[in-house]
Structure 1
């Protein structure tokens, strides 16, 4: 259930979609193609910047960080909805080399060859109705414009940047 990003990158990284359900960067599948998540990202960044400022100013008075616990209502929501994860941040962590321009998606049924730009602007579907994609997963690739929403690239097991 892991997906390595390898090839023409500085750092080979491994994605584990099974833990993304608890990641704040996930986006509801229904909101992914509407642009709603973009405004939320801007608001989240403002909140984070504000919190960093407060920590810097009041550094002496800060208590140890505590993980935000998940309410029962939030937990139930996680088990009912479908989620996607933008892949761009993971590509930034892998540090794709400047001369890279193509990507091979190795799937259970073969290979898909797509432009790097298309991958950077894509989502990885990792949970359908709150459950991981076990049969044809671990992830499906959906283009940001929704053009392949009805027919995503399924069963991605490895991402090779060229």
Structure 2
């Protein structure tokens, strides 16, 4: 099984995707909770205000020193990476490839010689599943395709071998 997946076709830059390094990427999402959680788009200022408020509350309650809870949070994140099921949005990779203006669709190549054709606008909403229970998708991977709305959550597109922008 090839783990390097190309994005080619009508793009300014032909790029390759390596799902083996995404476990360290901050853009990854937890697929166990991603389709359940409410997708509320928050204002950046509101998000910043909440973050500062939490920090301020922590300093008031625990003092301005590093409390022992920070160590347990790091341990929890490490455990989550080792046992989690993760995906990553396709959009940043599509943006980096810079599809040409006349490009209208993306062809997902998977299986033996199967293809799925999706309009380019909808392709930006694809989530690329790359790990299950802390392990890479070796048997039917390296990538699974999920739609952001969760409509194919139980039956993702498996054995993805490439993307061609047309």
Q: TM-score, normalised by structure 2?
A: 0.75
State the partner residue of 1:58. none
Detail structure 1 runs of 4+ shifted over 4 Å in the superposition.
Answer: 35-43
How many residues align? The count is 140
Instruction: Name which of 141, 145, 165 aligns with 1:137.
Output: 141
CA–CA separation in structure 1 for the residues paired with 2:84 and 2:40: 19
State the partner residue of 1:101. 104
Residues 1:128 and 1:40: Cα distance change in structure 2 (over 3 Å): farther
State the partner residue of 2:25. 23
- 1:103 Cα shift? 1.2
CA–CA separation in structure 2 for the residues paired with 1:115 and 1:26: 23
Q: Is the 8 A contact 1:4 1:158 kept in 2?
A: yes
Q: TM-score, normalised by structure 1?
A: 0.76
CA–CA separation in structure 2 for the residues paired with 1:42 and 1:15: 29
CA–CA separation in structure 2 for the residues paired with 1:123 and 1:41: 23
* 2:154 counterpart SS class: coil
* 2:99 counterpart SS class: coil
State the partner residue of 2:129. 125
What residue ranges of structure 1 are gaps of 5+ in the alignment? 48-69
Higher Cα radius of gyration: 2
